[in-house]
Amino acid sequence: MIEAVIWFVVALILIVAEYYLATKLRSPLWGGILPLAVLGYTVYVFAVQHQAVDMQTIMPYAIVNILLFGEWSSGREAYRELQRARQDDRQPGDGRPG
């Protein structure tokens, strides 16, 4: 049970950090650091450490990877929307009345 709580806390910290990296920084590569690092670690655990491959072992890794890649994608969309809104606010009117 304690292991599940630790997984949850680590995943929550990673997701919060991922949201910040994906939405606040200009380059999309910054937002990809955590998902790619976690994916690399997942491959390392199953390929090099010869971790047992069963549903109980795979599910935490799969869930964290899916959440991080999803957060990366949605964070980039939020960043684009924010940039569009800022650009629309900066554009002066075209001079036409009403």
* pLDDT at res. 52: 79
* pLDDT at res. 94: 53
Per-residue pLDDT of the chain (98 residues), as tens digits, is 787 788 788 878 888 888 788 777 777 788 888 889 989 998 998 888 877 788 888 888 898 889 888 888 888 888 888 888 888 887 766 555 54
**Interhelix angle 28-47/2-24, nearest 10 degrees:** 150
Alpha carbon distance 47, 23 (integer Å): 32
Domain residue extents for the chain: 2-88
And the tokens for 5?
A: 């709580």
* pLDDT at res. 71: 84
Closest-CA residue to 19 (of 77, 72, 64, 63): 72
Alpha carbon distance 86, 41 (integer Å): 37
Give Cβ neighbours of residue 21 (< 8 Å, ≥ 6 apart).
30, 31, 33, 34, 75
Give me the sign of the Cα torsion angle 59, 14, 74, 30.
negative
What pTM does this model have?
Answer: 0.68
